[in-house]
Structure 1
Amino acid sequence: MTVNENTARAVVAEIRDAIVRGDFVPNQRLVEADLSEQFGASRAAVRSALVELANEGLVERVQNRGARVRAVSLAEAVEISEVRMAVEGLCAAKAAEHVTREQAKQLKAIGRAMRTAVSHGDVLGYSRLNQELHRLVREVSGQRTAQDVLERLRAQSVRHQFRLAMHPGRPSRSLPEHLAIIDAICAHDAAGAEEAARAHLRSVIAALREVDQSSVRTLP
């Protein structure tokens, strides 16, 4: 890999992370000159990064107007969750087959921390633990292709995920779903882990629609 390729890859990661964090919001223009200055990279590296992120579905290029952060509709967020249902179910099943004693301890520790976050009303802490749990399940599964797919899908729907995390009562509703995934994986119950993961994503889809309807009702 050449230095230029390393640089381009680093810029892709930096812009992707900024989009995932919400530093760049949907439909925000991504000006090459500004990004070049912000990330200390050449215009060519930034341009290459925007092409790569467009291929990932995070950025869209508009003729004669440059690039902008792609907005994901509710319908697309639901579709993404439906794909996640299948792939995360696979990862949970594989994780149940491969989980080690030490990994089971890590999963159970996350579960205990999630319980504490919910009891203390720590919504942001719960959201971070949620992401940590899903990341660990993917890691334990050993399914690298599935990991890559899920990372891309997560990045595309990050704004909807944030709205969902902030929805009143959502952590309390999702906690038992996450604990069921943890329990099945630690019990080496592949079928149970897959069904628990699918049940969680079905709940996510229902909640996405609920949050969207709630937003419509609160419009002036």
Structure 2
Amino acid sequence: MPTHEQTTDAEHIDITAAIRKAIVQGDFAPNQRLVEADLSEQFGVSRGGVRAALFELTNEGLVERIQHRGARVRAVTLDEAIEISEVRMVVEGLCAAKAAEHVSDEQIAELRGIEEAMRTAVADGHVVRYSELNKALHGRIIEISGQHTAAEVLRRLRAQNVRHQFRLALVPGRPNVSLAEHLAIIDAICGRAPDAAERAARAHLTSVIKALRAVPA
């Protein structure tokens, strides 16, 4: 068993993922203090494991450490969210183009399945379900692209931006706009058209940036 100051590799991975998930889902609010003793009790792990997890999440930009005050959930400003989306626009454009080059017949069928599920979610007004499918689609495109470095960059960027993304999904009419943009990306990838896929991905993120700027504070 790990001691108060020791942690196993498995525990470190699990607690890091658990705290990351809690932050991303909004269980921990922006600027909320993250106390090692409380987290240790909440998740049933050693304080050493919590400390290591908070250090890793600080590197990911989800947590920040304030001198003499400990750790807290980092609040991402709207300006930062826009900058993150601008970087995503470039990297996800690359991934979409590469996915169009590498996509297999089986993967095309899978993307079409996601497309149909997204259509249904929007038609039924299931915002949370659509948001989940949105995330799944972006993740699958990155996987198909085979761009491992881009995947790591995007994982961190999307985690930092998730609250703004979800807030955007709640804007009336936004899911319908987003759906059309995602369908264009899927069509281009399934058509094995790299240039069109990159343009569609960049157009989608350009739309996201424009919508973020328009969302009331």
Normalised TM-score (structure 2): 0.95
| Alignment partner of 2:77 out of 73, 98, 103 | 73
* Cα deviation, residue 86, structure 1: 0.6
State the SS of the aligned residue for 1:157. helix
Instruction: Give a deviation string over 1:62-94, Cα, whole Å, max 9, x none.
Output: 111110000000000000000000110011001
Q: What displacement does 1:6 show?
A: 2.7
Matches within 5 A, 1:190-205: 190-205=194-209
Matched, 1:143 2:147: yes
Kindly report which structure 2 residues correspond to 1:108-187, keeping only aligned pairs within 5 A, or say none. 108-187=112-191
* TM-superposed deviation, 1:162: 1.1
- Is the partner of 1:185 in helix, strand or coil? helix
1:132 and 1:148 map into 2 onto residues whose CA distance is 15
C-alpha displacement at 1:139, in angstroms? 0.9
Paired with 2:183 and 2:205, the residues of 1 have a C-alpha distance of: 14
**4+ residue segments displaced more than 6 Å:** none
Letter paired with 2:43: F
Among 57, 64, 71, which residue is 1:60 paired with? Answer: 64
User: Could you tell me whether the CA contact under 8 Å between 2:29 and 2:73 is conserved in 1?
Assistant: yes
* 1:9 Cα deviation from its structure 2 partner: 2.2
Q: Give the Cα separation in 1 of the matches to 2:23 and 2:192.
A: 36
Q: What TM-score results when the alignment is normalised by the length of structure 1?
A: 0.93
Q: Say whether the 8 Å CA contact 2:61–2:160 is kept in structure 1.
A: yes
Equivalent position of 1:100 in the other structure:
104
Number of aligned residue pairs: 212
Amino acid at match of 2:209: I
